[in-house]
Structure 1
Amino acid sequence: MQKITTPTLLLDEGICKANIRRMAEKAQHHNLRFKPHMKTHQSAQVGEWIKDAGVTAITVSSIDMAHYFAQNGWKDITIAFPCNVGRTQELNKLAQNITLTLLINKPETAHQLETHLTSTLNTYIEIDTGSARSGLASDDIRAIKELITVIQKTKFINWVGFYSHAGHSYSCRSEQEISEVQHSIVKQFNNLKKCINPDFGTFEICSGDTPCCSVANNFGPIDAISPGNFVFYDLMQTQIGSCTPTDIAVAMVCPVVDKYPKRNELIIHGGAVHFSKESMTKNGLTHYGAVAQKIDNHWKPLDTASHLVKLSQEHGVICCSDVIFKSYDIGDAITILPIHSCLTANLMSQYQLTDKNGTQVNMM
């Protein structure tokens, strides 16, 4: 691999494929449809690794992302974001060529969409299981039934079930806390299914956050899962309890451009435009990444004292232990595990594989 002289996001193909294989096997073991979310990697190449694991249906977060993966051979795509009725013309084009599933959360969305649709598509109703972001509350049975009825009266929209992303699992800090969130989700969907089944027959329930999908073993009435971050994982997921550092498949490598011995700080070319400003706090320290090294084919934080502690647009400031500070000179490249791989990958727009050739992998 050539010397790295600019901020570069490395991707370990072996770790990534192992993460994909493990989640695919878990879905199969629990008789769940596996519809992974592609928003983390946004890459046709990583998509091929997912396809190699037997996956035939995927989830995305935007119409543009749906177009990208449709152009790369995917035929069953869910856009897991409240439907944007202003882009119905694009949805019509997509629905002509693939099985397209949307999220519709309000009757007025269904009415507006139906007015302009010329192609048949599917929809989930999004259920808010506790994240307080978007979707209907699981116990708002009246509103849910009303919305199903409205959708079923349309010509071009097929209601196929419910979708949920338990974003509140990201506030967990242990496997036990993740399991408690999953227990709540299962309980909510069990109650919802009892209330809906007599009137509306069978339907699919899809749930998709990485912490619950990684840790849980009880999926109850859930039929499908759509986690996304699991392909790469990151430091945030280690703090949550979803994985260990050895599961992290991406790392930033940045050149050291300055040193300050009195502060034990290294200055790197690597700022907010590369990492994002997503931070985490542990043991009273807020930081944007941890200094790491490849050990036994996995990235591991080098110690508990060396972190990326400050970011401006292009600058990064790493506060180091004495040992780490003395280990790096100006011109060296230093490896940092990102806090949130989804945001870092989106900003970097491409990966460099850790193979001997440093192969480039493009994103959408």
Structure 2
Amino acid sequence: MNMNNNNTIQDYLDVLELNYDELTKDKIKKQYYKLALKYHPDKNGNSIEANEKFKKINEAYLFFISEYNDVNDTNSCNNSNTNFDFVSLLSSKNTEFYINLLSSFISSIIKGNLNSTIVSIVKNIVISANNTLTKSVLTDLNTLDKYQLIEIYTLLSRYQDVFHIKQDTLEFVSLLIKDKYKNDEIIMLTPSVSDLLNDNLYKLNVNDTIYLVPLWHNELYFDAKNNNTNNTNINNTNNTNNKEIIVLCKPNLPNGISIDENNNLYCKLSINIHNELTNLLYNSPFVSLYIEEKEFFIPLHNLHIVSEQIYKIKNKGILIVNEENIYDDTCRGDIIVKILLV
């Protein structure tokens, strides 16, 4: 990549909330899909601020993709779903563009194949005004089995801020799940960020049997008959004759904090340029970041004096899900911090 304009590169990295060391074409695309959906003007009141943010996201994406095309393969962008007419779409009025953007993002976050009906339902919920559940969507939801409903619930809850999903919509889907699981035991937990960062286990008592639930998972399945744990892909065909205990975890996240599909945690840190910055520059080698009761340290020499920047605290975040060993505590996700000078 052309490094002649380092300031421009850093500015665009900050817009896409990326670090240079993770700059790959796939990562750029995925982050673009995510941010363009989250800050799409139509989903943010079409304010001047929203339109400006959306424009910067598009500019940053086009900059990096054009750089990659110049260096690598000039046709690489044309064989993907990212070949949009950005100039005409900056007005954000093109529904087809939004749907393609949504499809591309869903494809980028799903591991393995995903049922086309599930994708279609998620799209219809997201693109509808105020997440209105139309008659056709309700009909489709009622045709799904319990595992497919959980897939939809997990997608909508994990990316609630990106998809602009209302809490009422999530609660409705959860009621459908409970109805489908009326012969099973379904538990919905809302762990705190502290629970996740401290690797907490939830002691679940069902019929005098104790199940230890690792709270950093999205969903877990326990065989009530044999007291075995099964954390498989929810598209897996389980034996429906045995009663199951299903635990769904939807973290209770404060404003400004989100978690992606790889359990990376995103947060913000504001530094007051009048009261804090000078003191930090002269008296401290690092900036402290507090996430609930946990403290993390960011070395000052790794930061720039700019209004916004991204810093990644590697391998210090939430445990990464291991489907083969649900209690595995060997690998952690990152903490991605957006640092703002205010």
Give the TM-score of the pair, scaled to structure 2: 0.29
Structure with the largest fraction of strand:
1
Structure with the largest fraction of helix:
2
